[in-house]
Amino acid sequence: MKGGTGLILIALGIFILFGGNFLTVESPPLPTPTSAPTITPIITPTPSPTSTPTPKPTIVREWDTNYDGFADIWL
């Protein structure tokens, strides 16, 4: 376990020494949030599919003996 903690300390030391370089590299990805709003319109149409499955034909329910969604009594 001491060896693992030593590696962590070395990694932290390297990160502190070159932290400025890493921060400059991380700044360009900031434009990525602009792509996030494109995901929000995809979430908005979800309420429509939830309303479509609700209307089930009542006639099928009357003839559905095992409640599998299909009429089991055939005339």
* pLDDT (mean) for 12-35: 58
Angle between helices 2-17 and 19-26 (to 10 degrees): 70
The pLDDT confidence band at residue 22, using thresholds 50, 70 and 90, is: low
Query: What does the pLDDT read at residue 4?
Result: 73
Query: What does the pLDDT read at residue 12?
Result: 73
Query: What does the pLDDT read at residue 50?
Result: 52
Query: What does the pLDDT read at residue 68?
Result: 79
* Alpha helical stretches, state H, the chain: 2-17, 19-26, 36-43, 47-51, 58-63
**31-65 pLDDT per residue, tens:** 545 555 544 445 545 555 555 555 555 566 677 77
